[in-house]
Amino acid sequence: MPSVDRITLRLMVACMMALAGQLLFVPRTAHAAENPPTGFQVPVGQRQLFLDDHGIAQQNNLRRQMHQPEKRGAVIRSPQPNKSIQTRTAPVWDEKAGLYKTWVITVDDNLWQSRDGLNWTPGPKTNMPIMLAVYDPLDPDPARRFKAPLLNRGFAVSPDGITWKQLDLKAVPSSDEGNFSFDAENGLFIHTVKRGGPHGRALALATSKDFKTWDDHGVVFQTDELDQKRGKQHIADRLADATLQQPLYNDPSFYNVDVYNMGVFRYEGLYIGLPALYHAVGPVPNYPNTDGFQLIQLACSRDLKNWQRLGNRETFIGPSHIDSGAYDLTQLLPPSAPIVHDDELWFYYTGLKWRSNFHYIGTYPDGRTELIPGRDRDGGGICLAVLRRDGFVSLDAGDEEGQIVTQPFKWSGKNLMINADARNGQVRVEVLNPQGEVVAAAKNVAEDSPRKQLQWIQGDLDALQNQTVSLRFKLRNASLFSYWLTD
């Protein structure tokens, strides 16, 4: 196996309507209560992120900043130039085979394999087309370790991701899109599908504990009037930027923003969503569809039903420029989850150069499609974007010191780790008792480290075991991404 955290089957992500650039201030004093609220815990090993206000008692003079992943280009290209390869799933690590496996659509080679997550080759031929799949290490039956929804056809299981058996189960209804992940921490399968909402496409979600009985929660995420307002600005910005791929058709009366697809995954105690918001720009002549583009944003939830938007609804993954040689010029579709690779998160997503690549001749549905010259070959690939681990959102301070105090919790670890960039400043961490007194203090951190173990210059951490405490982080010219307890 490569030196990877494998696929963190506690599948990932986190949240909040984090207003990028807005200073956040809660003018109240926070001490560690004698009996901490039962709602906040810091389990050993579970990273605490700052996507929402969960676990935060006080913060001042800090701003939330969303971070975009760095694009690394296409890692899987279509072996058939006249077909555009796409994905909606995340690679999984097959321990027995010593390989990453992923399933793609719109080409003949359904299964692809890799030893390092970068160099991919077609795998053995699957006995049925698979669009979405996960690996379930908790199932005692080896013949059911790989699991897949068959969109609008039911579900299937496999011992190896190659030979599949369709189960006698009803499908979760969808129009034509879906996504799928496994929350191993809670033994929960999460299936998202496309349905209708007030502005067009919307996201419905179903869950299952046993991969047999599914709870259909209906539509849980959809666009609103603010998306429509911001969408018009996104369209105007794109039309004014000659470095971006332009739509073939433009009619303002058709402008609309809806949810084309959304990957949802468990990450460090919460759920993160990657909604691909489709911006319709104009109608395709003689054909019942529109030209347009997608932008991938961020959202998070604690219960899979109530979602908060992150980063002031700014773009998490957006289009590349037309002179970049990239595939993701127009259509961008998210994976079900990233994979954890050392101190990075790897996102495999679909990038397509165009949306409209044909003219429709005649009257639909009795006419025919005619491919547009120049848009008939090598139109899409599976792209990789890399984010610092836990790097979705940070709490940032400038020249003036900012601080955050956590909600009280029971200390159960032997040490404390932080993920912070303080190369141009510093982060100081203190442990407070229920009276707000400092009982332990760490040496200042003045470096960029995704996993910094703190060195303590005051206090005895062993004496804190099972004691109620709060943490106070003081930042100056630094960014704090997460913290966690270790054994």
Residue 39's pLDDT is what? 72
Q: Which helix (H) or strand (E) holds 229?
A: helix 225-239
Domain 23-65+395-486 indexed as CATH 3.60.15: no
Residues in the chain: 487
| Distance separating alpha carbons of residues 337 and 48, to the nearest angstrom | 19
Specify the pTM.
0.91
Residue 38's pLDDT is what? 52
Instruction: Kindly list the distances between the CA atom of residue 308 and the CA atoms of 179, 200, 256, 274, 362, in Å, as whole numbers in the listed order.
Output: 19, 20, 21, 12, 45
Q: What 3-state DSSP class applies to 442? A: strand
- Of the options 2.115.10, 1.20.1740, 3.90.228, 3.20.20, the CATH number for the domain spanning 70-388: 2.115.10
User: Encoding tokens for residue 225?
Assistant: 């009037």
Residue 224's pLDDT is what? 98
Cβ atoms of 53 and 16 within 8 Å: the answer is: yes
| Distance separating alpha carbons of residues 386 and 409, to the nearest angstrom | 33
Which residue in 346, 345, 331 sits closest to 381, CA to CA?
331
Predicted confidence pLDDT, tens digits, the chain (487 residues): 343 343 333 333 333 333 333 333 333 334 444 444 457 999 999 999 999 999 999 999 999 999 999 999 999 999 998 999 999 999 999 999 999 999 999 999 999 999 999 999 999 999 999 999 999 999 999 999 999 999 999 999 999 999 999 999 999 999 999 999 999 999 999 999 999 999 999 999 999 999 999 999 999 999 999 999 999 999 999 999 999 999 999 999 999 999 999 999 999 999 999 999 999 999 999 999 999 999 999 999 999 999 999 999 999 999 999 999 999 999 999 989 999 999 999 999 999 999 999 999 999 999 999 999 999 999 999 999 999 999 999 999 999 999 999 999 999 999 999 999 999 999 999 999 999 999 999 999 999 999 999 999 999 999 999 999 999 999 999 999 999 999 9
Domain boundaries, the chain: 23-65+395-486, 70-388
User: Encoding tokens for residue 355?
Assistant: 């949306």
3-state helix, strand and coil shares in percent for the chain, rounded to the nearest 5: 5, 45, 50
Spacing of C-alpha 16 from chain mean position: 13
Cβ atoms of 115 and 99 within 8 Å: the answer is: yes
User: Encoding tokens for residue 301?
Assistant: 């939830």
The residue behind tokens 């299964």 is: 111
Residue 27's pLDDT is what? 35
